Amino acid sequence: MSNQTRKTYSWTSIVILLIIFWPIGLIMLFSKLSNDRTASFGGGSGIIKFIGVVLVAFGVIFLFTLASGDASIATTGIVLAAIFAVPGFYLIKKSNQVKNSGTKNRKYIDYIINNRIHDIHELARRMNVSQEVVIEDVNGMINRGMLGGARLNLNTGVIEFPRPKPRQEQPRPVAPSTPHRDQRPMHREPVQEFKQFEPQTIRCTSCSANNFVESLPATCEYCGTSLHKK
């Protein structure tokens, strides 16, 4: 199972630029949230909130310049406080949005992928929202590659998936035959047998989707996260 994921900025570079020069950091953050599917499942919400709190703290520190009694210093402090605090409060709000969106998307994945509920009406009932909201949410997930190769059939109100390819049976290794020779026992060093990977279903730690994995390394078909053997 292979998956192509758009390359995005690392969280480390985003964090550094948000602290040093937040306008560029915000641009990189928006790019990360738009292209990184793990962010669609709440990934990075904690980091975003932490940076927001740090920026707000800097803003509060600059407000203490009001106690200096110098008008020019106080004015500069107010400006710097606004420069840091405003994006800080925005990031705190954004982190909550990312977290809530991730919780919602994981619910969709659990119903659609793990429990195979593909009917829009039933999804609306379980998500406790209208069918229009489900259609909008599912279309958004499909457009971002979060539901594999699925498509939404509005005529039937069903999410349709391509038929899975038939699984090929792995040939069992046959031990080579040895000619009949001296039957006297020979001392041999114990050889550690290589245990072949058995195809199995692995649950993604990011989006909670069940992925059938035939070989490793592999990535989640729905969010692009690396999958590891249980």
* Percent above pLDDT 70 for the chain: 81
For residue 136, pLDDT over 50 is answered with: yes
Contact, 25 vs 14, CB < 8 A?
Answer: yes
User: Where does the pLDDT of residue 179 fall: very low under 50, low under 70, confident under 90, or very high at 90 and above?
Assistant: low
pLDDT at position 166, please? 62
pLDDT at position 193, please? 59
Mean per-residue pLDDT, 29-53: 83
For residue 229, pLDDT over 80 is answered with: no
For residue 105, pLDDT over 70 is answered with: yes
Instruction: Tell me the chain's radius of gyration from C-alpha atoms.
Output: 27
Mean per-residue pLDDT, 166-173: 58
Instruction: Report phi then psi at 181, rounded to 5.
Output: -130, -155
User: Where does the pLDDT of residue 187 fall: very low under 50, low under 70, confident under 90, or very high at 90 and above?
Assistant: low
Q: What angle do CA 97, 159, 226 make, to 5 degrees?
A: 55
Q: What is the pTM of this model?
A: 0.72
* Close Cβ partners of 85 (under 8 Å, ≥ 6 residues apart): 55, 56, 58, 59, 60
User: Where does the pLDDT of residue 71 fall: very low under 50, low under 70, confident under 90, or very high at 90 and above?
Assistant: confident
Q: Between 222 and 177, where is the model more confident?
A: 222
Rounded mean pLDDT of the chain?
82
Contact, 205 vs 225, CB < 8 A?
Answer: yes
pLDDT at position 4, please? 44
User: Where does the pLDDT of residue 3 fall: very low under 50, low under 70, confident under 90, or very high at 90 and above?
Assistant: very low
pLDDT at position 73, please? 81
Mean per-residue pLDDT, 78-94: 90
3-class DSSP state for residue 151?
strand
The token pair at 130 is 């209208």
